[in-house]
Every structure is written in structure tokens, then in C-alpha cells.
Amino acid sequence: MTSTQQTTALTVGAIVVAAALGIAWAKRSAEAGGSVLPISRPGVASLTSGKGTKIRFSDKPVPVPAFSLQDLDGKTITPESLKGKVVLINFWATWCGPCREEIPELIALQEHYKDQLVVLGLSVDERPAADVKAFAAAQSMNYPVAIADMTLQKAFGGISAVPATFVVNPDGGIVQRHVGLLEPEMTEQEVRVLSHLSSAADVELVPDTGQVLIANAAYATEIPGVDLTHVTPDQKEAILKRLNTEKCTCGCDRTLAQCRIEDPSCQTSLPAAKKVAAEVTGGK
């Protein structure tokens, strides 16, 4: 074996060992519930540094709701058709200022990470689909756009504000939800981490009881505005069970627990939740 061949063999061996160590390290870290260390893949440069960026992913990914819809070009989209890549499901509207502001950033991400990412724009516009398609064309949107009717919006827990973006891992699990204007650096690093690309961001798996994904409200042990510190374990279990099954009547179409977590200022869910607690404890 020549000196060049030996050097090449050692280099390849080092890469293989480093990859194996990276996989094991990330696996151990994830199992421990701590930071998730991304596995480095060469060849895709980062648009942002990632330094100082903090990313939080739910420790209980929620499967993307079942749906089948046609995008504005007539192509069928289902959760199954999106698996294998990171997906940013972006609820937006043509009339929404922040939505318009983040469109160029989503276009740039889709172009740069075309092999790792799918951006799916779901318009909540009530105007004709042709108008939305014309708007998308004028903006040179390079990702699929479809109309999200109320049924689809409810399937995602209700879209009370736009933009709202759900971050989906390649296995089809929602790991984060952002309401409001996206932070470009954070969004890119989320894509990189979930794609197993190198990232300098600080990534953490967080115990999710609804603060990350409202669908995880069933795991909540604390309900905003409801004091459960003086109840017995059995009473607490009974209260939480009712709050996670009984619907709020404010019109949000959520359970009382979901409404309290999603909108702590709701003046309908608060007295209703307190009433449930009082009924379970006998008013104590």
C-alpha cells in the first residue's frame, strides 16, 4: 500500500468512526432527555451561523393529522407523501403582513435545502383559489400551496392566528409550533438539526405538556389559573381527566385544558375549569 493509499484509508476510517460516535452520542443524549446533538453531513452549507440559537423540540412528537388535499397546481398532497423530509407546514394568508414578510425566507430555505425540506403553504384565505394562486405566482413561491378549509384548520388544533408554522420531522411527527413571524436563523437550524446536518445551535428536548404542542395538553399536570396543589392525587387525576375531555364553550373547539394552555386569558374556560375542580373536590 502506498503512502497516499494509507492516508486515504486512514481518513475514510476516521470519518466512519466519527460518524459512529456521533450517532451513539446523539442516541444517548436523546434517551437521557438532554440536548440532541446533530449528526454532521457534509455538503450543505449553513446560511446562518447558528451560534447562540436555542431550539426546543417536543419530547412527544404528534403525528401530522390525516389529510388529502390538492395544491394549487392540482397535485395531491398527503402526510405520507411528505415523509422522508423535514416539513414546514405554514398557515398563512395573502392579507397577512407578517406572512408576506416571511415568504422570501421560506423561498430561500426551500431552494437551499431542496433535498432535505418541503415547505407547505396552507392558505386560510376565503378569497377564490385563483386569486391565491396569482398571489403565489407573483411572489415566486417555489413550494406547494394549498387552501386550508376549516376542517383542516381544526385538525391542526385550530388556527387562531397567522402565520402559524408546524415543524415536522422526517418521520411525520410534529415537534414544534411557531405562532407569529418566524425567526430565520432558528428556522434554518431546526431544519438542519432534523435533517442531521451540522449545527452550532443549542438543541433541547423538552417535556411537552401542551406549551409546545397543544395536542399534548393531555399530558398536562398543571392548568393555568387552576390551583391543584391542595388536592389529593386521585382528585387531581379526576380533575385532569375531565379538563382533557370536556369542551370549552368559548367557541375555540378545544378541551378546557387545551383552551387554558393555549389562551390563559380566556374568561370562559377559567370559571369552567375551576367549577370542575370544585365539583371533584366537593368545593374544598
Question: Where are the extended beta strands (E) located within 196-244?
Answer: 202-206
Decide: 201 and 138 in contact? Cβ < 8 Å. Answer: no
How many residues in total does the chain contain?
284
- 99 noted as active-site residue: yes
The question of whether 252 is a catalytic residue gets the answer no
Cβ atoms 58, 216 nearer than 8 A: yes
* CA separation for the pair 211, 215 (Å, rounded): 9
Catalytic residue among 99, 248, 259, 266: 99
Cell 415543524, residue located: 167
The amino acid present at 254, given as its one-letter code, is R
Q: Are 103 and 170 in contact (CB under 8 A)?
A: no
C-alpha cell at 227: 390551583
Catalytic residue among 96, 252, 259, 266: 96
Q: Is the peptide bond before 79 cis (omega within 30 degrees of 0)?
A: no
Nearest one of 169, 155, 159, 145 to 60, comparing CA atoms: 169
Kindly give the interhelix angle for 233-243 and 269-281, rounded to the nearest 10 degrees.
140
66, 231 contact by CB (below 8 A): no
C-alpha to C-alpha distance for 30 and 38, rounded to whole angstroms: 11
Task: Render the burial of 208-224: b for 16+ CB within 10 Å, e for the rest.
Answer: bbbbbbbbbbbbbeebb
Question: Which of the residues are catalytic?
Answer: 96, 99
